[in-house]
Structure formats: C-alpha cells, structure tokens
Amino acid sequence: MFLMESIEGKIARLIRTEIRALKAYHVPEATGMVKLDAMENPYGWPEELKREWCEALKSVALNRYPDPAANALRARLKQVYSVPAGMELMLGNGSDELIQIILMSLARPGAVVLAPVPTFVMYEMTATMAGMKFVGVPLTPDFALDTEAMLEDIAHHKPAVVFLAWPNNPTGNLFDAAAVEEIVRRTQGLVVVDEAYHAFCQQSFMDRLGLYDNLLVMRTLSKQGLAGLRLGVLAGEPRWIEEFNKVRLPYNINSLSQASAEFALKHQTVLDEQAARIRADRETLYTELADLPGLTVWPSSANFILFRVEGRPVGELFAALKGQGILIKNLDGSHPALAGCLRVTVGAPEENTRFLAALKKAVLYSPHP
C-alpha cells in the first residue's frame, strides 16, 4: 500500500542535513529607519551625474544578452584598480557569488576552508553549502591575527583555500601585513585577500599579485556607493581565473550593471571624495563613542565601528535604539568573541548625529543594572 509522505518527511529525506541546520541570511526590515546596519555608503550622486547616468543607460539594448565576459568593464577596472600586468579579472554578482564560485571549484572530498574568526559569515556558510569543512582559527582577544595558530592549523589541515578579510568584518581592524604575507607563503592552497573595504584603509595586496601564484585579491563596489549593482571583482593569475570561469554562470553580470559600473568608474573622483568623507566621519564617530560610559570601542579601518556594551543586556540597548528609529547590527550570539557587541555603519553626518543622540539617551538615561 502506498503511504503518503508529509512535506516534512520529504524535506528530511531530500535536503542535506547540514543545509537544514543552516539559517538563511537575514536582512531586517528597515523602512523608515536610519539604516546603519549594512556598511552602505550613505551618499548618493549629484543630480547632474544622475541625469548623465540615465542618458547613458538609454543606449543599453535590453533585448540582447549582456557581454558574457564584461570585457569593457574589466578593462576599466584593471586601470582603476592598478591591476598588475599579466593578471586577470573575473566579475561576480557581488563578492558572495565569487566566494561561491571559488568554493564550488575547490570542493573535492575532504577539502578544507580556513579563516580567522570572527569574520565574514559567508565564508563558512558557503563552505557548508559546498559540502566542505570549515576551520575557524580564533583571533586574539583584541581581534588581532593569531599568526602562530593560523600557521599551525594551515600545516595541519592543509586547506584548499584561506580567506582573509582585510580589513576584517565585523571587527574593522587591518591584520598585520607581514603576517598576511607569511600566511600566503606558507599556504599550499589558495589565499584570498578580501579587500571589500579597501577604500577606507587605503592599503592593498593588489601589487603583490604575480609575486605569489596562490594569491587572489577580491574587491566589491558595494561599499563605494554601488551596493545596488551587486558587482564583485576577483583578481589573480589568469590560469586560476580560467578555471573559475568554467563554474561562473553565463551572463552573470547584467547589461545595466555593466553600463552603470562603467559610468561610475569614469567618475571615480566622486567615489573617492565620498570615501574620504566617510573616513573623516569615522574618526569623529569613534571619538564620540569612546567617550561614552559603559562601552568598549575598537578602532576601525573600514566604514563601520564595533563596540561592546558593558554591564547591561545588549539586546536591551539594541531595542532602545530601534525604538528611536535607528537600525544597527546586533552581533551578540553570532560568535563567542562578539558577546555583547554591536556594529554601526558610518553614515552621513546627520545620521551619525541621530545615532549618537539615541545611543546617549539609551546609555545615560535608560534604567539598567
């Protein structure tokens, strides 16, 4: 007799156990809020530039498929990013797709992905999706790279790839460059230096490409005011890029994104000026936060600041901010080292002022133990 199976039974039978154990990446509702939770550039383009951009988009043939290799855009990016001669680029639908492509390409049985933790969550999530083992090497209590522990675990696990967010997310600090270079030298697999926040630290491993054949540098345009385009960039030795392109889905960068990114890069000075403003505002915001009682604040080389709430439940403070229309990121519970931690994106001056006013009200006037 044929027995009907419940959908719960089908899911348990068909979906991999490790996938069922995951939680989908959550993006909170932010309508009507001062949105300081996602490391976005708070500045738009001048109206005149927007009009020029709209004119440029009129020439895009939406009835045709996009250039599958995005040749014109890649050429522009090589120039803007000062990619060393002989190196090649691959573009992705954000850095997330690039991470996925890399790990799908390397997902042999038993292959290991290694990274210092806490760090960008998608390294571990994507490793799990690809059926790979993830090894997290704890940072020191002040979130510095534990180089000795990293090298020991690299020698023991022989990872297929090491991811190093530089600066690190969510801690905001820039690992010692000499330590990073030593990890590249001592790793038999690939090392991906993720420079998503390069515009805010003004340091890069891009010029080291070619010195090490296992080094890849990853960037994104999201943090420079183009988050809506979803454009990630991977730079490295052409033979690696050739292999990864076999996994990349065709036409992954749509025509409007290609045209918009090319237009934006022709106006790189606007993006650079905005990054400079954010760097200056970051220092002001850090000083204001560090002066508040009950907070431990870490210096940042990115466009966000990590701080810990002392002496009271962090969820209470997070809720108090949200109740005043301020949305930041609650990291408590995401990793043991981030207990009691919140992360705030550097916004426009008026947004930072509203955040600080709400925070001071919550810290100084709300009842707490």
- Intervals of CATH 3.40.640.10 along the chain: 61-267
CATH 3.90.1150.10 region(s) of the chain? 7-45+270-365
Phi-psi domain of 294 (left: phi exceeds 0; alpha: psi -120 through 50; beta: other):
left
Which stretch of DSSP H or E encloses residue 281?
Answer: helix 268-290
**Residues 85-140 pLDDT 10s:** 999 999 999 999 999 999 999 999 999 999 999 999 999 999 999 999 999 999 99
346 closest CA partner among 200, 219, 228, 198: 200
User: What is the second-level CATH architecture of the domain 7-45+270-365?
Assistant: Alpha-Beta Complex (3.90)
pTM of the model: 0.93
pLDDT single digits (tens) 195-236? 999 999 999 999 999 999 999 999 999 998 999 999 999 999
Q: How far is CA 149 from CA 228, 266, 315, in A?
A: 38, 43, 32
pLDDT band for position 351 (50/70/90)?
very high
Query: What is the fold, at CATH topology level, of the domain defined by 61-267?
Result: Aspartate Aminotransferase; domain 2 (3.40.640)
**Average of per-residue pLDDT across 271-275:** 96
Task: Give the C-alpha separation, 170 to 172, whole Å.
Answer: 6
For residue 258, name the pLDDT band (cuts at 50, 70, 90). very high
Position 1 scores a pLDDT of 55
pLDDT of 16 > 90? The answer is: no
pLDDT number for residue 369: 46
Mean pLDDT within 128-155: 97
